[in-house]
């Protein structure tokens, strides 16, 4: 009688643990998916702001066509990728592609602002200052959304890889989420400062 009772209790405890762990993994997974969606929202915001910006600066710097076109091209490419994204936890390839496209856009925007700095009369108009604040904020929002996503993905990945949770991970359909990393080699490089040239 007693061994049966012990077996029932052990099985019961194991069952409860299984349910709790399963649910925790699902919760973490949904957090990651939500974090990804937040990045999407902010990226879309940035894409929507860019036509405004280009429109504002176009007249004053018509001879800087290359810089403007680079921004527009990078934006269009990123938009195409964004539309493809669903609401679930993204696949590794999805994250890498979008990260690469957005990094390119960030780089193009950075160059544009560097050029704007060289046009004091352009900077003086209130429009550009407002837009600049909006874009700074959007860049920050993207960075923070990315930071949150990476934290959540790390929590999720750690949870599903740790023992004994990893035994449940397969049943819960958990697979490691891809972190959003800086794919662009140029962005990772330490900027070179040459004071002698000036």
Query: Which residues would be at the binding site for other proteins (CB under 8 A)?
Result: 35, 38, 42, 129-130, 133-134, 136-137, 140-141, 143-148, 151-152, 154-155, 158
Question: To 5 degrees, how large is the angle CA 123–CA 125–CA 126?
Answer: 105
CB of 36 to other proteins, least distance (A): 12
* Alpha-carbon gap, residue 79 to 102, rounded angstroms: 9
Q: Which is nearer to other proteins, 28 or 169 (CB)?
A: 28
CB of 151 to other proteins, least distance (A): 6
Q: Please measure the distance between the N-terminal and C-terminal CA atoms of the chain and give it in whole angstroms.
A: 90
Helix (H, G, I), strand (E, B) or coil at 22: helix
CB of 183 to other proteins, least distance (A): 15
Query: How far does CA 30 lie from the centroid of its chain?
Result: 16
Q: Which is nearer to other proteins, 97 or 150 (CB)?
A: 150
Q: Which is nearer to other proteins, 46 or 146 (CB)?
A: 146
Report whether 151 contacts 69 (CB < 8 A).
Answer: no
CB of 90 to other proteins, least distance (A): 17
């Amino acid at each position: 009688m007693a061994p049966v009772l012990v077996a029932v209790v052990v099985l019961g405890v194991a069952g409860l643990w299984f349910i709790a762990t399963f649910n925790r993994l699902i919760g973490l997974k949904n957090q990651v998916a939500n974090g990804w969606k937040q990045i999407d929202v902010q990226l879309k915001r940035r894409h929507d702001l860019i036509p405004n910006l280009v429109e504002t600066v176009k007249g004053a710097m018509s001879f800087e066509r290359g810089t403007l076109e680079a921004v527009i091209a990078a934006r269009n490419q990123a938009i195409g990728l964004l539309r493809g994204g669903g609401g679930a936890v993204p696949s590794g390839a999805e994250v890498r592609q979008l990260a690469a496209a957005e990094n390119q856009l960030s780089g193009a925007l950075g160059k544009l602002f560097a050029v704007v700095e060289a046009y004091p009369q352009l900077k003086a108009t209130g429009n550009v200052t407002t837009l600049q604040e909006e874009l700074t904020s959007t860049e920050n929002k993207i960075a923070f959304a990315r930071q949150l996503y990476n934290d959540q993905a790390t929590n999720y990945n750690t949870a599903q890889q740790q023992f004994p949770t990893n035994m449940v991970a397969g049943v819960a359909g958990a697979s490691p989420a891809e972190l959003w990393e800086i794919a662009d080699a140029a962005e990772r490089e330490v900027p070179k400062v040459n004071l002698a040239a000036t």
